[in-house]
A and B are shown apart, each in its own frame.
Chain A
């Protein structure tokens, strides 16, 4: 197992008011993303635990792209990864933010 932590400053807070959302499952080639609204509006953190070792550079790039595209201010994302490909990771991160931004009636 390998772990990575990233902290980014972002221009905008994620919309919506849900405190928490979760997507995905931990399986081969898949991952789960738990997203929690627990940080100041200008901050975003990602904690990643992955079964596939030696891909730090790829994670850094995928996370940077995600943060730039979504500006997920206020969110802490915790990832348990079962060795997903970068495109699957990008998709799950986007899904997680979309889910926490959805209206919660």
Chain B
């Protein structure tokens, strides 16, 4: 397929200008992939909507907030899945989850083609909680099967819903993750922790606390995410290409290496009660300055403190 040079130049410029955080899931997919290479599976015209939301008198979305398909990334075939964080907070329901499970099974059967997952989720949709929880379990199983078959699965996190609940568990099973400052990765969200354990345990109104505990910079510094990127489509695209190439496979050595990494992390930081203490213990002298640091400075610091490693996970 020959593309007009204008279309390619336009896409290059848009990728650098468009904020990942502000973009819709469809815009992220369109710009992340090579120009006009995206082909959707079970698109909105199929109207595979949630069978549960109407019972609660809630509006449906034709793609149920999950876009799946295939395309090209820097000329290489990839599978892609993207959550729309503005529809039901990007939460997993029956159809939303089944689309990702199905895609992961396709990846398992064609493991030379990597998968990129654009997470943007608050976790499981409360209105279809049982179906949603089952979907998380099925996705984790399918993801592990895909990785066992040799596929790379790379997660990108920088949307307004962050990556919470079951989404955080799925992200933890990926081959590698890239996160922006705006991206947050956790299982229980700030409000959930406060509701269950009290405001003294976690004050969800304290935005600085939320960001330094769950935000992209902290996740990069403790090794939860492998790359920290700017909030542009271009930065995420470069990261996805890099992580597909560099991330680890999946075997006993990798699992043992991951266990060792987590054991060492617990030994090193287990007694810390705040992220700033962790950063200081990791060797960052001016730890208080981390949240305000510009992206370039932070990436340089993070690489000095902790080289990205791809032998674990």
Q: Are A80 and B57 in contact (CB under 8 A)?
A: no
**How far apart sit A50 and B44, CA to CA, in the bound complex (Å)?**
18
Decide yes or no: A25 and B59 within 8 Å by CB, A1-B54, A34-B44, A34-B45 being known contacts: no
B59 CB contact (under 8 Å) in A26, A36, A105: A26
Chain B interface, >50% SS class: loop
Please encode chain B, from 175 to 190, with 1 for each CB lying within 8 Å of some chain A CB and 0 for all others: 0000000000000000
**How far apart sit A78 and B45, CA to CA, in the bound complex (Å)?**
10
Q: How many A-B residue pairs have CB under 8 A?
A: 46
- Give the size of the chain A interface in residues (CB under 8 angstroms): 18
User: Top 3 nearest A-B pairs by Cβ distance?
Assistant: A27-B86, A26-B61, A51-B59
B43 CB contact (under 8 Å) in A20, A49, A82, A105: A20
**How far apart sit A105 and B66, CA to CA, in the bound complex (Å)?**
26
Tell me if A81 counts as interface (CB < 8 A to partner B): yes
Closest residue of B by beta carbon distance from A26: B61
Q: Are A36 and B54 in contact (CB under 8 A)?
A: no
Tell me if B26 counts as interface (CB < 8 A to partner A): yes
Q: Are B44 and A25 in contact (CB under 8 A)?
A: no
Q: Are B62 and A36 in contact (CB under 8 A)?
A: no
Tell me if B58 counts as interface (CB < 8 A to partner A): yes
Q: Please report which residues of chain A, range 28-57, place their CB below 8 angstroms from some CB of chain B when the two chains form the complex.
A: 30, 32, 34, 36, 49-51
Closest residue of B by beta carbon distance from A32: B61
Q: Please report which residues of chain A, range 70-98, place their CB below 8 angstroms from some CB of chain B when the two chains form the complex.
A: 78, 80-82
| B84 contact set on A, CB distance < 8 A | 25
Least Cβ–Cβ distance between A32 and chain B, in angstroms: 6
Tell me if A10 counts as interface (CB < 8 A to partner B): no
A22 CB contact (under 8 Å) in B7, B57, B58, B62: B62
| A105 contact set on B, CB distance < 8 A | 3-4, 7, 36
Closest residue of B by beta carbon distance from A19: B45
A30 CB contact (under 8 Å) in B3, B26, B58, B86: B86
Least Cβ–Cβ distance between B159 and chain A, in angstroms: 12
Identify which of A20, A36, A105 gathers the most chain B CB atoms within 10 Å of its CB. Answer: A105
Least Cβ–Cβ distance between A18 and chain B, in angstroms: 12
Least Cβ–Cβ distance between B87 and chain A, in angstroms: 5
- Give the size of the chain B interface in residues (CB under 8 angstroms): 19
Q: Are A22 and B87 in contact (CB under 8 A)?
A: no
| A22 contact set on B, CB distance < 8 A | 26, 44, 62
| A78 contact set on B, CB distance < 8 A | 62
Q: Are A1 and B59 in contact (CB under 8 A)?
A: yes
| B59 contact set on A, CB distance < 8 A | 1, 26, 49-51, 80-82
Q: Are B4 and A80 in contact (CB under 8 A)?
A: no
Closest residue of A by beta carbon distance from B7: A105
Tell me if B203 counts as interface (CB < 8 A to partner A): no
| A50 contact set on B, CB distance < 8 A | 59
Q: Are B4 and A25 in contact (CB under 8 A)?
A: no
Closest residue of B by beta carbon distance from A38: B45
Could you list 30 examples of A-B contacts with CB < 8 Å?
A1-B58, A1-B59, A20-B44, A20-B45, A22-B62, A25-B61, A25-B86, A25-B87, A26-B59, A26-B87, A27-B87, A30-B86, A32-B44, A32-B61, A32-B62, A34-B44, A34-B62, A36-B45, A49-B59, A51-B58, A51-B59, A78-B62, A80-B60, A80-B61, A80-B62, A81-B59, A82-B59, A105-B3, A105-B4, A105-B7
Q: Please report which residues of chain B, range 1-15, place their CB below 8 angstroms from some CB of chain A when the two chains form the complex.
A: 3-4, 7
| B62 contact set on A, CB distance < 8 A | 22, 32, 34, 78, 80
Closest residue of B by beta carbon distance from A78: B62
Closest residue of B by beta carbon distance from A28: B86
Tell me if B277 counts as interface (CB < 8 A to partner A): no
Tell me if B24 counts as interface (CB < 8 A to partner A): yes
**How far apart sit A103 and B54, CA to CA, in the bound complex (Å)?**
36
**How far apart sit A49 and B61, CA to CA, in the bound complex (Å)?**
10
Q: Are B60 and A49 in contact (CB under 8 A)?
A: yes
